[in-house]
Amino acid sequence: MGVTALLCTLFAPLAGAAAIALIQRDQVKAIKATAMTIAVLAFGVSIFLVPFFSAADAGIQFYVNVPWIPSIDAGFRIGIDGMSLLLVLLTTFMGPIALLASWGPITKSVKEYYMLMLLLQFGMTGVFIALDTFLFYVFWELILIPMVFIIGIWGGKERIYASVKFFLYTLVGSLLMLIAILWLGFAAEAQGMGFTADLLKLRIVAPMIPANVQVWLFLAFALSFCIKVPLFPFHTWLPDAHVQAPTAGSVILAAVLLKMGTYGLIRFNLELFPQTSAMLAVPICILAVIGIIYGALVAMVQTDIKKLVAYSSVSHLGFVVLGIFSLTTEGVQGAVIQMVNHGISTGALFLCVGVLYERRHTREISEYGGVTNVMPKFAVLFAIAMFSSVGLPGLNGFVGEFLTLLGAFRSPFLHDWTFAIIGATGVIFAAVYLLWMFQRVMFGTNDNPENKHLRDVTKMEKWQLVPLVVMMIWIGVAPRMFMNYSEQSVRRIVGQVELFMFSK
Amino acid sequence: MSIDLFGSLPLVVIWLALGVIGVVIQAFVKENGTKLVFGYYVGTLVVTALLAMLTYSHHGTTFNGMITLGGTASVFDVLFCGAGVMTLLAAQPYLNRWGNELDEFYTMLVSSVAGMMLMAHARNLVVLFVGIELMSISFYIMAGFFRQRERSVEAALKYFLLGAFATGFLVYGMALLYGATGSLAYESIASVVLSGTARYPALLALGSILLTVGLSFKIAAFPFHQWAPDVYEGSPTVVTAFMSTAGKAAAFSAFISIFVVLMPMMQGVPLNGTLQLAIAVISAVTMLIGNITAVAQTNVKRMLAYSSVAHAGYMLMGIVAGPQYGHSAIIFYAAVYMFMQLGAFVVVGLLEREDEASLTLNDYAGLHKKHPVLAGIMAIFMFSLAGIPPFAGFFGKYMLFYAAVQGGFTWLTIVAVASSVISVWFYLGLIVKMYFNDPVGETHEAGSGLAGISLAVCTVAVVVLGLLPRLLTSVVGGW
């Protein structure tokens, strides 16, 4: 059952894209309905994964292994552990919301748009469940194509620059990763297992690669993932891509695409190269902390709301990376839940920016003020999303940030409280830039005549925002329900790192 | 002398069809002659391809060991014939549109295919030479086929002059190899090289270098690539499509068999790996030069020409890597490259207007609004050429990278990766033009006619071979 659900979750969007291809171009309603049905269906099916998933099992569940290219031992190998489960659910959950966000704004080339969105979801789901380096790479690159078109065709003024930059940045990293993937395969061959792309086999092989080679392989993978995260100083593509992408594109980009990077860091870097991870934890955490502070400071001075949210991502993802490379159970668990949190809260923030933009066609903070007076319901939803992003206790953001900082604090690999202390100031900065932005946009006097008669959130927008707000509160109040699923898998991964470091 | 008639059927059939029956048809049929010749040659190539498939597992040599049969030679036969058929189908409407549909064109095309097949089957330097010349001379004529167009004539002349130069190198190299080893047969040369008993080792080295230079001309590798952009740009587009794919594949088929012979030299005596390193450097520089120069182009045909230089560089990685994985990777890549490059040129040909207009990047702006299908297909070819999965170009590159890493040339792979990133700039640039920019100028009809079949085949092949590369890797050997 679980396997069927997993396969359906993966392939439903692909089937949907194919179905839309057959619909006539002018049947806009039918196209939208099909896309929405498929996205909801995929979410529904992915929910079925939960009851069949055994949270007590740290290993891979629902494993599928179909030979694909025997000569390089690449196979269609998929399966999930607790961490992938949460991220798959995040992907399918954000899918319908992103489609709803496109309902009004997307008016040109509707057919292509919805096909690409579904294709994107197919690729993202694939990344989170692939257990074969070759398959993973194919999914990883597959995402570039729809995303570059979504930014490039439906994006803002500087869309071409942003889309090309996005494509090139990602490609630079991923091609080096391809060489590392090849190297890993040959390492398996050298140890008598034959060339392979099977991640489960490579997990056994990789830690035994000599340390000087491991460092290079680690760096090749890490570069690719850190560009995607994006970790300072590889973040410059992100503000461009975020600001230029249409609202739904930004939502998907922030909520799911960035998580592919952090997921990759755990799945590949931590699992395959435990010694090197421990060795390089300090420099990476330094970058993460710089990212936290730098992202926050830059966010503070933005005059464009969307850009502000984009830079806040750089800061928030810094916490995730800090948590991961604290190499403690708390830290990595915090990172995993923070990935989900960031997806939900930043996704919601982008939707809120989209709501404002739809009405005024500007994102300049100075254009707004006192919007609460005319949009009271929107103000509530926006405020909750904002507080969730700030990390207010009781909402989801707090849980993740707290755990990552705790992890950094207790980490036996960082030996230093400074990371946690400087990182924690990022939370304060987040409060500063987000609250300040909120104050300038929503409070004060509504003296811009164009803002006098803004419509409050429509039904359609409520459908997008309310589920997200519900999730923020749910995770904030009962994080264990979610973290239970990933706990054993994270313990296994961290245990392996500790084993390799401290068993000598 | 015993002749293995069954095994040599593909060669015999195409030569008879070309040299005996084809000439008769052209000489005596006046009514509807062009159509008949066209159909006849399409049929010839299809039959030859089928025979080549049939003799795939029929290994051996014939004509006193001058010709090898089956195996990779058969794979190359199918590849050449396939490219030939697709070019014929694309050429018919193309030539027709410019009022240049003469049956000589079809004859030249098939004769160049015959030459290529000879190159792939050759086990003797003289046979190789005959094959290369037959192919090249047909190419010279085809390049200048639009004799009213200055650029076409210029391309033909340039190609001819430089080609003749390259031929000089080839013959000189062959002569020196003969002097050093006392034989023209690959096997005998190989055994001399292997045992290190060459009478004049210096001649052997010089001969192999000259031979490499001659073949580098044919594949347009640095520093002998200068002719390619001008010739590819000036020639009729369908000819460019054919030359830059099948022609390149043929040159690589010769490269492969020559280097199987010379390979022992690369792994020890007497050149001590220098030749291998030299080819690795040529490969690296070729792909960098090709891609960097392509970035600066504004003419789509010229851009694809420079990119084809870069692709020759990628394929050379396979030569560096050696026979086990490298050579089969080249065959796979050559086949995949044929589909994507030929397809891309067919699209260019369909969009081409009077006086070679509509060839600049700006003419492709907003193409997806004018011709959604053509734009979509072109985008697939561009992504595939850039090596983005899930298209076939990606797996081709993967195989070449695999072979190079396996052969201990990780640095070359890193250079290849860097140049791939550069190449994305212009491949994606074309996609950006087609999809993200607004259309300029009026929409022209771009009826595809028979060319549509070629395009469909190319597109399907690029997608299917990307998802199921096994279909092809199982026949190229080594994998």
Q: What is the pLDDT of residues A281-304, one digit of tens each?
A: 899 999 999 999 999 999 999 989
Chain segment B257-276, per-residue pLDDT in tens: 888 877 665 555 445 567 78
* Cβ pair A172:B421 closer than 8 A: yes
pLDDT in tens, A375-396: 888 899 999 999 999 988 889 8
pLDDT over 90 at B104, yes or no: no
Q: What's the CA gap between B267 and B279, in Å, rounded? A: 13
Rounded-to-integer distance, Cα B435 and Cα A218, Å? 37
Flag whether pLDDT at A426 surpasses 70.
yes
Other Cβ atoms closer than 10 A to A428: 11
Distance of alpha carbon A116 from alpha carbon A12, whole angstroms: 14
Cis peptide bond N-terminal to A210, omega within 30: no
Mean pLDDT of the region A120-147: 93
- Asked if B94 and B83 count as a contact pair (C-beta separation under 8 A), the reply is no
8 Å CB contact between B325 and B476: no
* pLDDT band of B357, cuts 50, 70, 90: low
Question: For residue range B419-464, what is the model confidence (pLDDT) as tens digits?
Answer: 999 998 899 989 988 888 888 776 677 677 888 889 999 999 999 9
Q: Which of B321, B368, B324, B317 is nearest to B347 (CA)?
A: B368
* pLDDT reported for residue A265: 93
Q: What is the mean pLDDT of residues A445-462?
A: 83
| From B3-12, B39-48, B412-421, the region with the lowest mean pLDDT | B3-12
Tokens for A452?
Answer: 């006098």
> Is pLDDT larger for residue A336 or for residue B359?
A336
Q: What is the pLDDT of residue B27?
A: 78
The end-to-end CA distance of chain A, in Å, is 43
Among A72, A168, A179, the residue with its CB nearest the CB of B424 is: A168
Q: Is the pLDDT of residue B317 over 50?
A: yes
Is B394 close to A141, i.e. CB distance below 8 A? yes
**Is residue B189 within 8 angstroms of chain A, CB to CB?**
no
The helix/strand/coil state of A198 is: strand
pLDDT at B1: 59
Which B residues in the span 72-131 are in contact with A, Cβ-Cβ below 8 Å?
A: none
Average pLDDT value for chain A: 89
pLDDT tens for residues A262-277? 999 999 999 999 888 8
Of A148, A175, A182, the CB nearest to B421: A175
Q: Which of A469-473, B43-47, B269-273 has the lowest mean pLDDT?
A: B269-273
Taking Cα atoms as reference points, which of B249, B350, B376, B244 lies closest to residue B302? B244
The distance of A185 to chain B (nearest Cα, Å) reads 9
CB B448 within 8 A of CB B455: yes
In sequence order, the 6+-apart residues with CB closer than 8 A to the CB of B20 are none
**Which residue type does A503 have?**
S
**Reduced to 3 DSSP states, what percent helix, strand and coil does chain A have, rounded to the nearest 5?**
75, 5, 20
Which range among A414-423, B280-289, B458-467 shows the weakest confidence by mean pLDDT? A414-423
What CA dihedral angle connects B410, B414, B416 and B422, to 10 degrees?
180
Q: How far apart are CA A438 and CA B88, in angstroms?
A: 66
| Residue A412, preceding peptide bond in cis (omega within 30° of 0) | no
**What letter represents residue B261's amino acid?**
V
Percent of chain A with pLDDT over 70: 100
A280 pLDDT higher than 60 = yes
Interatomic CA distance for residues A117 and A14, integer angstroms: 10
Residue B383 in contact with partner chain A when CB distance is under 8 A:
yes
**Contact across the interface for A72 and B390, Cβ inside 8 Å:** no
Buried b (16+ CB within 10 A) or exposed e, A306-325: bbbbbbbbbbbbbbbbbbbb
Given pLDDT bands bounded at 50, 70 and 90, which one contains residue A61?
confident
**Residues of chain A contacting residue B413, judged by C-beta atoms under 8 Å apart:** 179, 182
**A183 and B CB contact within 8 Å:** yes
CA distance B219 to B234: 18
For residue A351 the two structure tokens come to 């939707």
Q: A55, A82 in Cβ contact below 8 A?
A: yes
β-bridge partners, B122: B67
pLDDT > 90 in chain B, percent: 42
CB B406 within 8 A of CB B323: no
- Residues from chain A that touch B414, judged by Cβ atoms under 8 A, are 176, 179
CA distance B338 to B344: 10
Which DSSP helix (H) or strand (E) runs through B69?
strand B67-69
Ramachandran bin of B478, using left for φ above 0, alpha for ψ from -120 to 50, beta for the remaining angles: left
Contact B428 A178 (CB under 8 A): no
- What are the extents of the domains in chain B? 1-272, 273-479
Taking the C-alpha atoms of residue B371 and residue A382, their distance in angstroms, rounded to an integer, is 43
Helix (H) or strand (E) holding A411: none
Cβ atoms A339, A263 nearer than 8 A? yes
Query: Residue holding tokens 């797996």?
Result: B395
Residue of B420, B431, B433, B467 to mutate, interface with A, max A Cβ within 10 Å: B431
Among B383, B429, B470, the residue with its CB nearest the CB of A69 is B470
C-beta atoms of A179 and B389 within 8 A: no
CB contact under 8 A, A163 and B432: yes
User: What pLDDT digit, counting tens, does each position of B201-242 carry?
Assistant: 788 888 888 988 899 998 888 888 888 999 998 899 999 999
Mean pLDDT lowest among B71-85, B344-358, B439-453? B439-453
Distance CA A171, CA A178 (A): 10
Nearest-CA distance A220 → chain B (Å)? 11
ipTM: 0.89
Q: What percent of chain A has pLDDT over 90?
A: 41
Taking residues A127-132, what's their average pLDDT?
Answer: 93
Dihedral angle computed from the Cα positions of residues A132, A135, A137 and A138, in that order, rounded to the nearest 10 degrees: 180
Asked if B405's CB is within 8 angstroms of A178's CB, the reply is no
Cβ distance of B470 and A183 shorter than 8 Å: no
pLDDT at residue A180, rounded to an integer: 92
| Mutate which: B287, B384, B388, B426, vs A, most A CBs within 10 A | B388
Q: Which helix (H) or strand (E) holds B60?
A: strand B60-62
| Helix, strand, coil percent values for chain B (each to nearest 5) | 75, 0, 20
Tell me B61's DSSP state.
Answer: E
The shortest CB-CB distance from B432 to any of A71, A142, A164 is to: A164
From A126-135, B67-76, B263-272, B361-370, the region with the lowest mean pLDDT: B263-272
Decide if B402 touches A, using CB distance below 8 A.
Answer: yes
Choice among A30-39, B190-199, B392-401 with the minimum mean pLDDT: B190-199
Query: Quick check: B328 contacting A, CB < 8 Å?
Result: no
Nearest CA in chain A to B366: A153
Q: What percent of chain B has pLDDT over 70?
A: 95
Considering Cα of B384, then B386, then B387, then B389, what sign does the dihedral take?
negative
B149-168 in b/e burial notation, b at 16+ Cβ within 10 A?
bebbbbbbebbbebbeebbe
Structure tokens at A472: 């923020």
Would you state the pLDDT for residue B269? 47
Does residue B411 sit at the A interface (CB-CB below 8 Å)? Answer: no
Nearest CB among B401, B425, B428 relative to A179 is that of B401
Q: How does residue A367 score in pLDDT terms, banded at 50, 70 and 90?
A: confident
**Which B residues 444-473 touch A at CB under 8 Å?**
469-470, 473
A152–B contact, CB cutoff 8 A = yes
- Given an 8 Å threshold on Cβ–Cβ distance, is A159 in contact with B436? yes
pLDDT at B123 over 60: yes
Contact A183 B398 (CB under 8 A): no
Task: Specify the pLDDT at position B265.
Answer: 59
Q: Kindly report the CA angle at A115 between A109 and A118, in degrees rounded to 5?
A: 140
With tokens 């595809």, the residue in question is: B448
Residue A415: alpha-carbon gap to chain centroid:
29
Chain B: residue whose CA lies nearest to A137? B389
Three-state SS string over A172-196 comes to HHHHHHHHHHHHHHHHHHHCCCCCC
Name the token pair of B300: 């789509």
Contacts of A47 (CB under 8 A, 6+ apart): A89
Q: What is the DSSP string of A47-98?
A: HTHHHH--TT--S-EEEEEEEEEGGGTEEEEEEE-HHHHHHHHHHHHHHHHH
Cβ within 8 Å of residue A404, ≥6 positions away: A319, A320, A322, A323, A326, A331, A334, A335, A338, A423
Rounded to 5 degrees, φ, ψ at B446 are -135, 65
Query: pLDDT at residue A217 above 90?
Result: yes
Q: In a mutagenesis test of the B interface, which of A26, A178, A183 is the best target, namely the one with the most B β-carbons within 10 Å?
A: A178
SS3 labels along B158-215: HHHHHHHHHHHHHHHHHHHHHHHHCCCEHHHHHHHHHHCCCCCHHHHHHHHHHHHHHH
Asked if the C-beta of B394 comes within 8 angstroms of chain A's C-beta atoms, the answer is: yes
Q: Which of A5, A10, A8 is nearest to A62 (CA)?
A: A5
Q: Chain B residues with CB inside 8 Å of A159's CB? A: 436
Instruction: Report d(CA B111, CA B134) in Å as an integer.
Output: 7
Distance between alpha carbon B290 and the CA centroid of its chain, in Å? Answer: 16
B436 close contact with A: CB closer than 8 A: yes
